[in-house]
Structure 1
Amino acid sequence: MIKLYSVWRHLFFGLLLLTTHAQDGSCYTRSVVPGPHPNVLFFLIDDMGWRDLHCYGSSFYDTPHIDALAAQSARFTNAYASAPVCSPARSGIMTGKYPVAMQTTDWFGAIQPGEAAKETRKEKITRLLPAPYRDYLPQQEVTLAEVFKQAGYATFLAGKWHLGSGPANSPLTQGFDHYFEGKAKDPSKGSFEIAGEAARFLEQHKDQPFLACISFYAVHIPVLAGEKNIARYAAKKDRLKLQQPVVASAWGKERVKQDHERYAAMVFETDEAVGLILQKLKELQLDRNTIVVFLSDNGGLSTAEGMPTANRPLRGGKGWLYEGGIRVPFLLKWPAMNNKGTVIDVPVINTDLYPTLLALAGLPQNSAQHKDGVNLLPLLTKGKAPERSLYWHYPHYGNQKGSPASAIRSGNWKLIYWYEDARCALYNLKDDPAEAHDLAPVKKVVAQKMQADLQAWLKKEKAVYPAPNPAYSPM
């Protein structure tokens, strides 16, 4: 009876995909080996920095379960968020589009109506008026969840959404069949609550394909964890005797060494929660037919609001278009993978996840929707990647003291354009990953070309810009 059910399930999904393909009008070819359609388990961590995992170089934090996943995955060393803060980066993941394309460029709730002339988080008048933006994910976008739901997958989101408030903008209106919000005020306890709910979902849907998005509130502030784990890392901090973990910088202060015992404990507990879900997946014998993604929404918080982590050697952190604000950990494991533990240095961005998951699941591409993403399957299997530039547009002032800017990465070159003083800075990331040496004055041709490319992209995307603030005074 079980075998008969399995046969009918495969026939049903095959017919469903053929129907979808016929409606789409595109040429469809399966991208993975024949067999049951794989499940997708997607871990999205809030504010986890590029070096916040032991497998990414941390010597202070312990992440054994995620490290074990990394050993079975492709580990990307040049993976980027599509924005330096949460909501726009998450909109990029869910739609396969740059946030600028949807005018979702700042975190939803950053500026209240009528306060555009005031940078409310610093309580001072800023030189520019931040660009207006949309504080919800437009309903016309076909989200990643919607396309998997249309293919017959059960869809589940546990934890942070932050892509619109109220019933009209909930995850249930954007393709998720099941939504468990969990505790946002205590991100550490909330992680275990989310893990428990995720385990129940896996148990209940083990006999059908699923897309399960586990969106932890951790490791976002407030920095909370169990006292036992905090004591553990306080002792570790004493043993290591780290010197000068915080230094003065152009934006006030920056944590440059990982030594925050409470944050370390929260990272450890997040790792434990991830481990519980992965163990449940294995117990249900679903691990061999499940795509697993591990990703952070943006860079680690290192320059304000308690600055609990450090991203060095990368410069800056959350809220900045420096590498520390947009480079993130990214792990990807899939059933047909035969090069486990591989390290990929090719630059990728979170909008690539949408078309890549479609390909790995054997579902048709929808290039009109995920127009800013690239299917990474050829890179994963053959080491081939198209030449392209990556772009960012953040025309806002951030809580982390960042100011309005846009950026472009082409090969090893990266250019940041700062709107306050109409200035560009150019860095060679291969030689200078810390972005310590601005080469714009000496590499003028490179800077001019990249600035022209950036401006052409902004024009194509109909970008909205910050404007001069008539209330601003240097005094």
Structure 2
Amino acid sequence: MRTGLVCLGVLCVLCGACVAADKQRPNIVLVLADDVGYGDLACHGNTHVKTPQIDVFAREAVAFSNFHVCPVCSPTRASLMTGRYNFRGGVADVFGKACCMDPAEVTLAECLKGAGYATGIFGKWHLGDDAEHAPNAQGFGEALVHRGPSMRKYTNPTLLHNGKPVERAGYCMDIFTDAAISFIRKNRSQPFFVYLAANLVHTPLQVPPELAAEFAATGLSESTRRLYGMIRSVDNNFGRLRAALKELALEDNTLLIFLSDNGPCSGSVPLDRHMAGLHGLKGTVYQNGIRVPCFMRWPGGFAGAAKVTRLAAHIDVFSTCLEACGIAAPPEGKPDGISLLPLLKDPSASWPDRTLFFQWDSGQIPRRGHAYAVLTERWKLVQPCGMDMRQQQHIRNRYAELCRLQGRGERSIDGPPRYELYDIAADPGETKDLAAEHREIVERMKQQYDSWFTDVAARWLKAAGSPSSQP
């Protein structure tokens, strides 16, 4: 939170004219699944998983088929909250200080709270647990969350309620959804922002036996049966949330967003899990690590049952929500993303051919040139190597195993840098490397990356005392 009084004062001035129009401003409900890949939904061709609630929503909503996020949890969450690339806010990893977002960052919750919204988070925060970094210090009036990147016990867990430890009975996804629905009921007479950030399907793969049992006859491995049971819980609770909005006559004026924070984790047998033809997995900058499901619906704001194929990303959610609510972006911390509202209203609307950047090298300090991708509507440059920390060896091993099982040969993301170029519009599975045929495109995109890194990692480079140094 930036100098609280200044920020809040600016926001109140910006929103003062809207106070009388509260009933016209939409509620915002952001549902973020954890480690759910693009291919983990029945509506994306998965014939084993059961996601009837999400499937119906996907048909009724505007579906983004070209939506991208960071390869791992905390960086995506930081960008969702700020509309900025995660390095800007001090988030580079999923452990230690590097997953604690700078309190000076202005969050979506702060902007909405300053405009008179009730704000609540339920589930996984993963941007810092201490008082300075906790969600209550970042604009959330109500917070029921777990600590860190994952929970040890998914049934009858110990959680943090507004910073204080509490014991809750039941399965985690049910607990978080119950709390979100209760918050909605309590605040239905004013605009509200609900951030339901599921911890499912993150490991450990703990699931009620009856949910995993639904997949007993599939022939899938035990880990994948458990994982699909966890997705079943996400789907069931998403349906409960929608039912509550409908019951309270809030559905038409609620912008409801469903997406995931990254691709499938290494916790299940690779070929057991439907991957929709995409390459890679969580932790890699290949498509299956960064391309995720994303659906948005707001009956009072735009027509549904549409598909958007233009390039969009996590950094766009912040500006989209603010524009939908008629709130100007904060003067501090200019967003890197842009509002998707024009595409939501008209999927054929004019849209820039953007260049987006993704990097995770698994270190506490970002390292230039390690494990990154540069993405446009047509081209994707991949430098997959350099995610080399010891605690992430399981991702590197699983990637190599996945390549063998998928018939891609002996491939590795260990070793020195290498540069691959894909015509991603024609080859979403990243099967044909065109780098040797288009060296000029490779060099141009490498230069674009280098300029981007110097910009977004400025805080880290300044601390190192050499803004242009290579690692």
TM-score normalised by structure 1 residue count: 0.77
| Residue matched to 1:353 | 317
Deviation for aligned residue 1:331: 0.8
1:222 is the counterpart of 2:204:
yes
| Residue matched to 1:121 | none
| Residue matched to 2:106 | 142
| Residue matched to 1:387 | 353
| 1:426/1:440 contact within 8 Å kept | yes
| 1:43/1:215 contact within 8 Å kept | yes
Deviations 1:309-330 (A, max 9, x none): 4424111110000001111111
Write the mapping of 1:30-429 to structure 2, written as runs, cut at 5 A.
Answer: 36-81=24-69, 83-109=70-96, 134-181=98-145, 184-187=151-154, 189-235=171-217, 237-238=218-219, 260-301=224-265, 303=266, 309-366=273-330, 368-382=332-346, 383-396=349-362, 404-417=370-383, 418-419=385-386, 420-429=415-424
The total of aligned residue pairs comes to 398
The CA distance in 1 between the partners of 2:309 and 2:154, in whole Å, is 31
Q: Which runs of 5+ in 2 are unaligned?
A: 1-8, 156-170, 387-414, 465-471
1:442 is the counterpart of 2:442:
no
Deviations 1:131-152 (A, max 9, x none): xx73311111110000000000
Deviation for aligned residue 1:62: 1.1
The CA distance in 2 between the partners of 1:312 and 1:265, in whole Å, is 19
Letter of the aligned partner of 2:55 in structure 1?
Answer: D
Write the mapping of 1:446-461 to structure 2, written as runs, cut at 5 A.
Answer: 446-461=441-456
Deviation for aligned residue 1:103: 3.3
| 1:427/1:439 contact within 8 Å kept | yes
The CA distance in 2 between the partners of 1:73 and 1:181, in whole Å, is 28
| 1:233/1:261 contact within 8 Å kept | yes
The CA distance in 2 between the partners of 1:370 and 1:378, in whole Å, is 20
| Residue matched to 1:119 | none
Letter of the aligned partner of 1:149 in structure 2?
Answer: K
From the superposition, tell whether residues 298 and 416 of structure 1 become closer, same or farther in structure 2 (CA, over 3 Å): same
Measured on the aligned residues, the alpha-carbon RMSD in Å equals 2.9
Deviation for aligned residue 1:384: 2.4
Greater relative contact order, per chain length (Cα 8 Å cut-off, separation 6+): 1
Deviations 1:215-261 (A, max 9, x none): 111111112222222222111x14xxx7xx9xxxxxxxxxxxx9921
The CA distance in 2 between the partners of 1:370 and 1:70, in whole Å, is 31
Q: Which runs of 5+ in 1 are unaligned?
A: 1-15, 110-132, 246-257, 468-475
The CA distance in 2 between the partners of 1:155 and 1:202, in whole Å, is 10
Letter of the aligned partner of 2:428 in structure 1?
Answer: P
Deviation for aligned residue 1:366: 3.3
Q: Comparing 272-281 with 147-156, which one deviates more in the overlay?
A: 272-281
| 1:79/1:349 contact within 8 Å kept | yes
Deviation for aligned residue 1:304: 5.2
Deviation for aligned residue 1:263: 1.2
Q: Please, which of 429, 434, 457 is the counterpart of residue 462 of structure 1?
A: 457
SS at 1:20's partner residue? helix
The CA distance in 1 between the partners of 2:154 and 2:32, in whole Å, is 13
Instruction: From the two aligned structures, give the one with the greater helix fraction.
Output: 2
Deviations 1:185-217 (A, max 9, x none): 344720011111111111111111100110111
The CA distance in 1 between the partners of 2:256 and 2:15, in whole Å, is 29
| 1:187/1:219 contact within 8 Å kept | no
Deviation for aligned residue 1:277: 1.3
| 2:25/2:324 contact within 8 Å kept | no
The CA distance in 1 between the partners of 2:296 and 2:137, in whole Å, is 27
Deviation for aligned residue 1:102: 2.4
SS at 1:58's partner residue? coil
The CA distance in 2 between the partners of 1:292 and 1:262, in whole Å, is 27
The CA distance in 2 between the partners of 1:394 and 1:285, in whole Å, is 42
Q: Comparing 84-93 with 181-190, which one deviates more in the overlay?
A: 181-190
From the superposition, tell whether residues 284 and 185 of structure 1 become closer, same or farther in structure 2 (CA, over 3 Å): farther
Deviation for aligned residue 1:368: 4.6
From the superposition, tell whether residues 29 and 141 of structure 1 become closer, same or farther in structure 2 (CA, over 3 Å): same
SS at 2:66's partner residue? strand
Q: Comparing 280-289 with 379-388, which one deviates more in the overlay?
A: 379-388
| Residue matched to 1:472 | none
Quick check: which has more Rg, 1 or 2? Answer: 1
The CA distance in 1 between the partners of 2:212 and 2:94, in whole Å, is 30
SS at 2:293's partner residue? strand
| Residue matched to 1:116 | none
Deviations 1:120-177 (A, max 9, x none): xxxxxxxxxxxxx733111111100000000000000011110012222110000000
| 1:100/1:393 contact within 8 Å kept | no
The CA distance in 1 between the partners of 2:275 and 2:11, in whole Å, is 46
The CA distance in 1 between the partners of 2:253 and 2:10, in whole Å, is 19
Letter of the aligned partner of 2:173 in structure 1?
Answer: S
From the superposition, tell whether residues 338 and 89 of structure 1 become closer, same or farther in structure 2 (CA, over 3 Å): closer
TM-score normalised by structure 2 residue count: 0.78
| Residue matched to 1:127 | none
The CA distance in 2 between the partners of 1:79 and 1:260, in whole Å, is 25
Deviation for aligned residue 1:37: 1.4
The CA distance in 1 between the partners of 2:15 and 2:232, in whole Å, is 47
